Amino acid sequence: MNAIVEFGGFGEMADWQAMLDRNRELFAAMDEGSRIGIVSREASGILPGKHLEGVQRAAEVDMLAWQVQGGGMQAVVERFSGMAMAKVDLLLVADAEALAAARADLAGEALTTIKKSIRRGNIMFFVFRNKAQLQDAGYEDFLESLGLAFLGACR
């Protein structure tokens, strides 16, 4: 059985929900049931270099899920204990610095802050559906907004 790690690092859900509502056009094309997960790197144990073990058998920990429900993107906290159970399309694994920065910017440009954290390596990012599936599910705008190359990225 996985260890249970208490994690209260996501802050107020209402603040996340307000941020998602302000950016609703990014999620407007997404299918019902589309899900993005955010977990803490430290709490989940999904650490660079040991990320596979972490992704497969994470400590049971809080996951902030953004899920399309009832026509809009909703923020909820769930338990995460590895990818098999999480059923998310994308997983962001954020270190404490990235989470704090995103929380601090929830009333402003939180998605830009997340984008910068991905580029700096403070957020690891994994995709669990392929290009066609993500395209069909309406993810392109969101992925582009995070600065992630939708196609290959030789640069």
How far apart CA 145 and CA 111 sit, in angstroms, is 8
Given 4, 33, 50, 87, the residue binding other proteins (CB under 8 A): 50
In order of 17, 47, 53, 106, 137, the CA distances from 130 in angstroms are: 27, 24, 21, 29, 11
Which range touches other proteins (CB under 8 A), out of 10-18, 59-67, 68-76, 144-152?
A: 144-152
In order of 8, 20, 35, the CA distances from 137 in angstroms are: 31, 18, 10
How far apart CA 6 and CA 145 sit, in angstroms, is 31
Cβ pair 51, 93 in contact under 8 A = yes
Which range touches other proteins (CB under 8 A), out of 42-50, 59-67, 69-77, 99-107?
A: 42-50
Is 39 an interacting residue with respect to other proteins (CB under 8 A)? no
**CB nearer other proteins, residue 70 or residue 155:** 155
Is 84 an interacting residue with respect to other proteins (CB under 8 A)? no
Residues that bind other proteins (CB under 8 A): 25-26, 47-53, 55, 83, 91, 112, 115-116, 118-121, 124-131, 134, 139, 141, 143-145, 147-155
